[in-house]
Amino acid sequence: MISAGIVVEYNPFHNGHLHHLNETKKRTDADVVIAVMSGNFLQRGEPAIVSKFARTKMALQAGCDIVVELPYAFAVQQAEIFADGAVRILASLGCRYLCFGSESGDINAFLDTFHWLERQKGRFDEILKEKMRLGFSYPKAAALAYSEMEGDGALLDLSQPNNILGYQYVKAIKDRQLDIIPLTIPRIKAGYHDPEFSSDTIASATSIRKAIFSEKGDLEPLKRYMPESSFEELLRFKREYGAWQNWENYWPFLKYRIIQSSPGELREIYDMEEGIEYRVREAAFRADSFQSFMEKLKTKRYTWTRLQRLSTHILMNAKKEEMKTYCQKPEYARLLGFSKRGRQYLNRMKEELAIPLIAKASSRDGGAFELDKRAGYIYSFGFPPSVRQRVLEEEYKRPPVMAE
């Protein structure tokens, strides 16, 4: 059986994701599609709007065959480490293909850029360092360095977020010499012509979340942008658990944690750098919402995303030591759900899997997985008090979701 891998967050699942899933099947002719998905905290340093189990359901109902969790130590990370972890897990599960969406849509642009940058690495790093010395954040500095070097023909627009991620997937495959064929499809946006996925039915996950958390909160208009099953799951989740999650739900706990900690303790948190712990304490003391905390914290040097990731690590008590250790190499994959065909695939592959699959949180202790479990437990604190305990225990006991 042939499998194709995809890297996803599904926050929440929408028609753009469905297009990506269908195109992956079409272009690879794979028997199964395996999604490696961030858990309850995402790459941009945010809690997921619905739990990983709900997002797994959405994925399976839309035609995914296997969903595994990207461990926290890779998920809440900058693009390079995120991509490295995701691609290596897919390789460990035997994926022949990796198919990702990008603004470019041309896989040769990625491959050529990779080789070209390999040759130019010295010069690139030099310009990058110079830009960061001037106070630019890492992604901004990298984009500037890259665009200064673009003289010999623009290969890939690396100021685009999905091109950056795609580049990192390709780089991980090449650097690790993985036996995976990378493919890319263009992301659909307004103006992209596709009979099935016109701009009328495509909206970004960001704009969908924005609509969900808007004052009006009328969800009916969202129906056109999501598969019906995902839309229903979104509603069911709120009905059953009383809340969709966003950072504000966790703000009291984040603030409490910061107020309670000494600067020395904050310095142990992953991604806490250069005396920013004092700024964090000062901002937390004065802010009465996550939004105002972030506004007080923001400087030119740090991107919003990076500060959100830092906030997640504080909320999680994720230490430098553990994060640096556990992001070296994925050592397991937690199985979140599978279809009938997914199960067949896993049965056949059993002997060849390069890492163990974990079916239940309660069945493994220690190491990097403690971080994943903790993330699941901490996620429960965003819910109304009456359902927190249920969410917490679900994380611990729940078996993988099986597609109906």
Question: Residue 357 belongs to what H/E stretch?
Answer: strand 357-358
Interacting stretch for its own copies, rule CB under 8 A, among 167-175, 207-215, 216-224, 250-258? 250-258
Q: Which of 341, 281, 264 minimizes the C-alpha distance to 66?
A: 341
Least distance to its own copies, CB of residue 181, Å: 41
Does position 384 interact with its own copies (CB under 8 A)? The reply is no
Q: Does residue 313 belong to the site contacting its own copies (CB under 8 A)?
A: no
Indicate whether 211 belongs to the interface with its own copies (CB under 8 A).
no
Cβ distance to its own copies smaller for residue 244 or 381: 381
Least separation, in Å, of the C-beta of 203 and its own copies?
31
Q: Which two tokens stand for residue 290?
A: 């996550």
For the bound state, the minimum distance from the C-beta of residue 362 to its own copies, rounded and expressed in Å, comes to 11
Q: Out of 2, 154, 190, 259, name the contact with its own copies by CB under 8 A.
A: 259
- Residue 26, Cβ density class (10 Å: 0-12 exposed, 13-18 middle, ≥19 buried): exposed
Contact between 385 and its own copies by CB under 8 A: the answer reads yes
Q: Is 360 in the site for its own copies (CB under 8 A)?
A: no
In the chain, what is the greatest distance between 2 CA atoms, to the nearest angstrom? 61
Q: What span, in angstroms and rounded, lies between the C-alpha atoms of 246 and 265?
A: 26
Contact present, 245 and 315 (Cβ < 8 Å):
no
What's the CA gap between 38 and 35, in Å, rounded? 10
CA distances from 7 to 147, 169, 355, 361 (A): 27, 9, 18, 22
Please state the residue numbers annotated as binding site for ATP.
7-20, 101, 162, 187-188
Q: Closer to its own copies at the Cβ: 115 or 286?
A: 286
Identified binder of its own copies from the candidate list 116, 197, 253, 304, rule CB under 8 A: 253
- Selected from 3, 377, 391, 400, the binder of its own copies by CB under 8 A is 377
Exactly one of 194, 236, 256, 295 binds its own copies (CB under 8 A); that residue is 256
Residues 163-192, interacting with its own copies (CB under 8 A): none
Q: Residues 270-299 vs its own copies: string with x where CB under 8 A?
A: ---------------x--x-----------
| Nearest approach, Cβ of residue 252 and its own copies (Å) | 7
Q: Distance (Å, rounded) from C-alpha 76 to C-alpha 46?
A: 9
Q: Is 125 in the site for its own copies (CB under 8 A)?
A: no
Q: Using an 8 Å Cβ cutoff, are 185 and 103 in contact?
A: no
Beta strands 333-338 and 66-70: pairing type? antiparallel
Q: Does 353 bind its own copies (CB under 8 A)?
A: no
C-alpha 334/C-alpha 373 separation (Å) is: 11
| 123 contact partners, CB below 8 Å, separation of at least 6 | 149
Q: Is 333 exposed, middle or buried (0-12, 13-18, 19+ CB in 10 A)?
A: buried
Among 260, 274, 351, 365, binds its own copies (CB under 8 A): 260
**Stretches 52-60, 202-210, 313-321, 350-358: which one binds its own copies (CB under 8 A)?**
313-321
Q: Does 363 bind its own copies (CB under 8 A)?
A: no
Strand bridging mode 66-70 / 97-102:
unpaired
* 88 vs 255, beta carbon nearer its own copies: 255
The residue among 260 and 347 lying less far from its own copies, judged by its C-beta, is 260
Residue 263 touching its own copies (CB under 8 A): no
Q: Which of 23, 165, 381, 401 binds its own copies (CB under 8 A)?
A: 381
Tell whether the torsion through CA atoms of 153, 118, 36 and 378 is positive or negative. Answer: negative
The residue within the footprint of its own copies, chosen from 55, 88, 187, 257 (CB under 8 A), is 257
263 vs 356 by CB, closer to its own copies: 263
User: Between the CA of residue 347 and those of 25, 144, 350, 357, what are the distances in Å?
Assistant: 21, 48, 5, 12
E strands within 39-118?
66-70, 97-102
Enumerate the known binding-site residues.
7-20, 101, 162, 187-188
Number of residues that bind its own copies (CB under 8 A): 21
Q: Which residues bind its own copies (CB under 8 A)?
A: 252-253, 256-257, 259-261, 265, 285, 288, 315-317, 374, 377-378, 381, 385, 388-389, 392
